[in-house]
Amino acid sequence: MNSMSIWKKTSSLPSFENLRENIKTQVLVIGGGLAGILTAHFLKESGVDCVVLEKGRVCGGTTSGTTAKLTFQHGLIYSRLLKEKGEYAAREYQNANAEALEHFAKLCADKDCDYEIRPSCVYSLRGKKLLADEIEALDRIGVSAKFEKELPLPFETDGGVTVENQAQINPLKLAAELLNGLTVYENSPVCRFEKGKAVTDNGSVTADYIVISTHFPFINSHGAYFLKLYQNRSYMAALKNAKPVGGMYVDENEKGMTFRDYGEYLIIGSGGSRTGKDMRGGERLDRLTREYYPGAQTVCRWAAQDCMSLDGMPYIGRYSAAAADMFVATGFNKWGMTGSMISAMIISDMILKRQNHYERLFSPSRSMFKKQLFVNGLESAVNMLRPTAPRCPHLGCALKWNASEHSWDCSCHGSRFASDGEILNNPANKPLGR
């Protein structure tokens, strides 16, 4: 799988030195994706001294693989939230994401990041009732949505739920603008923690507060994120000479397809399977591309990996009750653009001792007694007992060879390694065999 996303092809990010000394700061942000960059940006705007540590290149992970849709329409989530958590939670979730959209609109107004207003649509191939239930849920929480029967997609659907005035961007162009003026160290993976200090191979950062925005949290002694998260892998391509769709479209079925335009390109995606389980997602996308767009040219082809929470909402706030000065942002469930903004809003407010209305809703300490919690635990136990090699250095699970992407994949927590043992995806923070 070629890892060159359309964002990497059309953007240029600044480079930074690695950490080579022992320094002090007020806030240390570990993880140089959009969530960490936005958090550091907000803190800097408030006069807080902040340092960002990135283990590789800034935005080298999930941020470079996103479809970069800015929307509060996250699949058919509101009918589910109404049923599982009630009207207050559904309304607050929508409000938080709508506020994130407003922040993006203000932030992007004077920045060259290809910000464009677009409608968002969730379609279905499994019947109209699912869509009718979502429209009813959105109406109940005060959101205007409409049913559309005819969609500009290359196959028949049962229609879609459309919401106007959502947006899309080039995430790396935005990140490049936000990085100006931030103190960032690249190629500086954290190898251990001491009290209030993160230590790398060549230096350390002592901080009053530490923010973990590393996609999958890698500190296992607090928070039990290895039970509360799993990772999902999907596949994207940017096509030239393909008919544009004019908006942002996604299947309500997580294994379905996603569509959006970017300039002269059409971005399509498919997949949605647990990392280390179904390893043919890239081949499936190739087949769909040939079937639906036989005359198109594939300009870029890449994969993305997302952290999935147990209840469909991110974990944002204190890392755990036992780690009062450490914060986390994770579990964005394929909606990392608004998730990154919400996490930056909440965590910067918490550090600045400002009340944030959404702190409780997204708290990582909320109850998580879900079926998937036990599934994750059982999956880990089975894989730890499997007598195969190599083993994942994260928690010792058995790895599987992914012949399609030439990688060793962990189905427990989603770590991935190149054939030479180098880390491709966390939570593992050291290569195989070291």
Q: Which residues of 36-59 are buried (b: 16+ CB within 10 A; e: fewer)?
A: bbbbbbbbbeeebebbbbbbeebb
299 falls within a domain: no
121 falls within a domain: no
273 falls within a domain: no
Radius of gyration, CA atoms only, the chain = 21
Query: In degrees, to the nearest 5, what angle opens at C-alpha 427 toward C-alphas 426 and 429?
Result: 80
Residue with tokens 């200090």: 197
Do 257 and 268 form a contact (C-beta atoms < 8 A)? yes
Which range of residues forms the domain containing residue 390?
372-425
- Residue 171 phi/psi, 5-degree rounding, is -65, -30
Angle between helices 87-108 and 77-84 (to 10 degrees): 140
The whole-angstrom distance between residue 321's C-alpha and the CA centroid of its chain comes to 24
Do 347 and 377 fall into the same domain?
no
Do 224 and 317 fall into the same domain?
yes
Domain count within the chain: 2
Q: How many CA atoms lie within 13 A of 320 on its CB side?
A: 11
3-state secondary structure of 20: coil
pTM score of the predicted model: 0.91
Do 335 and 381 fall into the same domain?
no
Do 344 and 378 fall into the same domain?
no
pLDDT in tens, the chain (434 residues): 457 899 999 999 999 999 999 999 999 999 999 999 999 999 999 999 999 999 999 999 999 999 999 999 999 999 999 999 999 999 999 999 999 999 999 999 999 999 999 999 999 999 999 999 999 999 999 999 999 999 999 999 999 999 999 999 999 999 999 999 999 999 999 999 998 999 999 999 999 999 999 999 988 778 788 889 998 989 999 999 999 999 999 999 988 999 999 999 999 999 777 776 766 778 899 999 999 999 999 999 999 999 999 999 999 999 998 888 999 999 999 999 999 999 999 999 999 999 999 999 999 998 765 555 555 555 555 555 555 668 877 777 888 788 777 778 887 777 778 877 787 887 877 787 65
- The CATH number that applies at residue 399 is 2.102.10.10
- The amino acid sitting at 376 is N
Do 377 and 342 fall into the same domain?
no
161 falls within a domain: no
Do 250 and 242 form a contact (C-beta atoms < 8 A)? no
> Which residue, 321, 351, 381, sits at the end of a domain?
351
Tokens of 393: 């250095």
Measure the CA–CA gap between 359 and 345, rounded to whole angstroms.
10
- The CATH number that applies at residue 53 is 3.50.50.60
Do 177 and 217 fall into the same domain?
yes
- pLDDT the model gives residue 1: 44
DSSP assignment of 91-105 equals HHHHHHHHHHHHHHH
Q: Which residues of 399-408 are buried (b: 16+ CB within 10 A; e: fewer)?
A: bbebebbebb
Query: In degrees, to the nearest 5, what angle opens at C-alpha 308 toward C-alphas 305 and 309?
Result: 160
Measure the CA–CA gap between 222 and 392, rounded to whole angstroms.
20
Do 62 and 31 fall into the same domain?
yes
Do 275 and 233 form a contact (C-beta atoms < 8 A)? yes
78 falls within a domain: no
111 falls within a domain: no
323 falls within a domain: yes
276 falls within a domain: no
